[in-house]
Amino acid sequence: GESVGLHLPTLSVQEGDNSIINCAYSNSASDYFIWYKQESGKGPQFIIDIRSNMDKRQGQRVTVLLNKTVKHLSLQIAATQPGDSAVYFCAENPSGNKLVFGAGTILRVKS
């Protein structure tokens, strides 16, 4: 069935270091992939997306890498800040009408 999973449930990093959050997906038909950030008590907030015909996309302090050969997605956050502490979800769209979310990775930034 469709599934999106994450390798690490919790990631602790030192402030200023780079963070890498990984995600495995299973549906080769997905047209795009999205990373969301969710802070406690809030809804998911869009971070960055990538189309299936791309392998890298950069935003402000974030980079998403897509490896379709091994069905792997990663989010890199440069110079991690305390405000980056949150749960991060990857999501894919195996069909046109919905997103399939992974279970989430907790990012903790130590000052």
Nearest CB to another protein, comparing residues 18 and 58: 58
Tell me the helices (H) and strands (E) count for the chain, helix number first.
0, 11
Residues 6+ apart with CB under 8 A from 39: 45, 85, 86, 87
Q: Is 37 in the site for another protein (CB under 8 A)?
A: no
Build a one-symbol-per-residue string for 7-36: x at contacts with another protein by CB under 8 A, - elsewhere: -------------------------x-x-x
User: What is the footprint of another protein within residues 46-85 (CB under 8 A)?
Assistant: 46, 49
In 1-111, where does DSSP find H-type helix? Answer: none
Residue pair 50/68 in contact by the 8 Å Cβ criterion: no
Q: What minimum distance in Å lies between the beta carbon of 13 and another protein?
A: 21
Binding region for another protein (CB under 8 A) out of 14-22, 41-49, 53-61, 68-76 = 41-49
Minimum distance of another protein from residue 91's CB (angstroms): 8
Q: Which member of 64, 100, 107, 109 binds another protein (CB under 8 A)?
A: 100
